[in-house]
Amino acid sequence: MALKHISVKKLLTEATPGSEVTAKGWVRTRRGNKNVAFIHLNDGSTINNIQVVADLSNFDEEAIKAVTTGACIGVVGTLVASQGQGQSVEIQAKTIEVIGEADAETYPLQKKGHSMEFLREIAHLRPRTNTFGAVFRIRHNLAFAIHKFFNDKGFFYWHSPIITGSDAEGAGQMFRVSVLDDKNPPLNEDKTVNYEEDFFGKKASLTVSGQLEGELGAMGLGLIYTFGPTFRAENSNTARHLAEFWMIEPEMAFYELEDNMDLAEEMLQYLVKYALENCADDIKFLNDLYDKELLSRLDFVVNNQFQRLTYTEAVEILKSSGKKFEFKVDWGTDLQSEHERYLVEQHFKKPVILTNYPKDIKAFYMKADEDGKTVRAMDVLFPGIGEIIGGSQREEDHDKLLARIREMGIDEHELWWYLDIRKFGTCPHAGFGLGFERLVTFVTGMSNIRDVVPFPRFPKSAEF
C-alpha cells in the first residue's frame, strides 16, 4: 500500500532521517551520470527542493527517461542525511512513478531565466517557477495576516457588494454589468439604452471600491474591514495599475484623521513584519535574485516611523527641491508618482503620510478642514510604489455632505442611502483603502504589479 505523501517542506524540516517516505511533486532538474540520477523535486510547499537520489541499477531505463524537467512524479524511498551541499536530507529512491510526463521538446519552462513578459504569456505555467512560487506564497501569507491583524483588533470582516447599482462612487471608470442583448437593446425614446429592462432594473457595474457600503457597516458594527476584488476600467497601462485588483478597506466609527493614520501605519508595519517572519526563505530568494535591497527596504519600513506632513508642506519641499520633474508641481494639482517617490526615496528616505489635500482633487465624501480649502485626506506613500493607501476622515454632517455633492454635480438621488446614515445617529468616522497588489509588489520587490496576481487583468489582456 502506498504511504501517504509528505510535503517537501515537512520532509526538509520535520521528518526523521531513516524513515520510509513518499514525496510527490514536479521535477525541477535532473542531473547525474549513467549510474546515478539526482532529481530536484518541488511541490510548491516551499521554495526549497528535495533531492531524490536514484541508483540507476535499480530502475528500468525507459521508465526513468520520462523523469524530465516539468514532469510530475511520485517517489517512495528512505529519507537519509545528505552527503551533498545545500540540503540536510535527501531521498534514496526505491520506486519512482511518473504521474504526468512533460515533453522535453515542448515544455516551455525547460530552462531558467525567462523574461517576466514571457512568463506572463504562460501564466498557466508560471506558478511552477521559483519566482512565482515565492510571490504567491507571500501573497497568501499577507492575505492571511490581514485577516489576523483586523480580527485580533476586534474588526469584523464586512462584504461590500461586488455588483453595485451606485454610479457615484467616483473612484474610477466602471465596468458595466448587463444581460441586455448587445445587438438589439431596449431603447428609450431618445435612443439611449433603457436599463430599466436590464437584470437589476437599473444600470449596474462592478464596484470600484467597497468604501461607501463599508461606512454603512461601521455605523452599526463599529469597526469593519472589507477585503475583496475591485474593478477599474481606466486605461492605465502602468506597472502599478490593474483593471481587477483587491482592496482592503477598514472603516472605523469614532476615528478621526490621526487615528486613521495610526491604524494605517500599525497595519503596514504588522504586515511587513509578518511576511519577514513567515516568508523568510521566499523573501531571501527574491532579494538575492532580483533586488539586493529588498530586505533592507522591508526592515526599514518595520523599524521607522512614517513621516507625516501636509500636502501644502510637501508642495513647498518639492518646489524648493531644485529637481526637474516631468510634471510641474503647483498647489492645487495632484501629485504624480515622480513627486511622491521623490519625497519618500530622496527627501525623507522613509514612508510618508501626506494629509490635508486640496478639496478639488479629492473625493466628495472627505471631511472639510476649517479653512474651507483642504480636506482631511491621507495618502500613504511607499518607496518604489508611490501611493499604497488612500484614505480620509469622512464628512459626517448631512448638510455639508449634501452641499458638497451638489457642488460637484453628483446625482444626490443615487446616494440617498449614503446621505441617510448622516441623518440617523451620525458620528465622526474614518477609513482607508490599501491596494493589496501594491502591498504584495512592495513585499516581493517585483517591478510590475502584473506579476503579483495569478492572472492579471489589464487593457487588452484577459486570456486566462
Contacting residues toward Mn ion, per CB under 5 A: 390
User: CB 171 → ligand ATP: shortest distance, Å?
Assistant: 4
User: CB 52 → ligand ATP: shortest distance, Å?
Assistant: 41
270 close to 391: Cβ distance less than 8 angstroms = no
Bridge partners (DSSP) of residue 31 are: 38
- Give the one entry of Mn ion, ligand ATP, none that residue 217 binds, where binding means its C-beta sits below a cut-off of 5 to 8 angstroms depending on kind: none
- Give the one entry of Mn ion, ligand ATP, none that residue 25 binds, where binding means its C-beta sits below a cut-off of 5 to 8 angstroms depending on kind: none
- Give the one entry of Mn ion, ligand ATP, none that residue 362 binds, where binding means its C-beta sits below a cut-off of 5 to 8 angstroms depending on kind: none
231 close to 161: Cβ distance less than 8 angstroms = no
* Closer by beta carbon to ligand ATP, 97 or else 345: 345
- Give the one entry of Mn ion, ligand ATP, none that residue 242 binds, where binding means its C-beta sits below a cut-off of 5 to 8 angstroms depending on kind: ligand ATP
- Give the one entry of ligand ATP, Mn ion, none that residue 348 binds, where binding means its C-beta sits below a cut-off of 5 to 8 angstroms depending on kind: none
**Cell digits of residue 74:** 511520485
- Among candidate residues 23, 75, 73, 66, the one with its CA nearest the CA of residue 45: 23
* Closer by beta carbon to ligand ATP, 217 or else 433: 433
Cα(160)–Cα(301) distance, rounded to whole angstroms?
30
- Give the one entry of Mn ion, ligand ATP, none that residue 56 binds, where binding means its C-beta sits below a cut-off of 5 to 8 angstroms depending on kind: none
* Closer by beta carbon to ligand ATP, 64 or else 264: 264
User: CB 248 → ligand ATP: shortest distance, Å?
Assistant: 9
- Give the one entry of Mn ion, ligand ATP, none that residue 241 binds, where binding means its C-beta sits below a cut-off of 5 to 8 angstroms depending on kind: ligand ATP
- Give the one entry of ligand ATP, Mn ion, none that residue 170 binds, where binding means its C-beta sits below a cut-off of 5 to 8 angstroms depending on kind: none
Output the residue with the shortest Cβ distance to Mn ion: 390
* Closer by beta carbon to Mn ion, 206 or else 366: 366
User: CB 67 → ligand ATP: shortest distance, Å?
Assistant: 41
* Closer by beta carbon to ligand ATP, 79 or else 208: 208
* Closer by beta carbon to Mn ion, 75 or else 208: 208
Bridge partners (DSSP) of residue 73 are: 25, 98
* Closer by beta carbon to ligand ATP, 8 or else 453: 453
* Closer by beta carbon to Mn ion, 334 or else 407: 334
User: CB 366 → ligand ATP: shortest distance, Å?
Assistant: 11
Q: Nearest 5 degrees, angle CA 11-CA 15-CA 16?
A: 135
User: CB 445 → ligand ATP: shortest distance, Å?
Assistant: 17
* Closer by beta carbon to Mn ion, 390 or else 431: 390
User: CB 355 → Mn ion: shortest distance, Å?
Assistant: 13
User: CB 379 → ligand ATP: shortest distance, Å?
Assistant: 7
- Give the one entry of Mn ion, ligand ATP, none that residue 422 binds, where binding means its C-beta sits below a cut-off of 5 to 8 angstroms depending on kind: none
User: CB 208 → Mn ion: shortest distance, Å?
Assistant: 12
Report the b/e string of 63-98 with b at 16+ CB within 10 A.
ebebbbbbbbbbbbbebeebeeeeeebbbebeebeb
- Give the one entry of Mn ion, ligand ATP, none that residue 247 binds, where binding means its C-beta sits below a cut-off of 5 to 8 angstroms depending on kind: ligand ATP
User: CB 18 → ligand ATP: shortest distance, Å?
Assistant: 50
User: CB 310 → ligand ATP: shortest distance, Å?
Assistant: 18
Residues at the interface with ligand ATP (CB under 6 A)? 171-172, 232, 236, 241-242, 245, 247, 387-390, 433, 435, 437-438
- Give the one entry of ligand ATP, Mn ion, none that residue 64 binds, where binding means its C-beta sits below a cut-off of 5 to 8 angstroms depending on kind: none
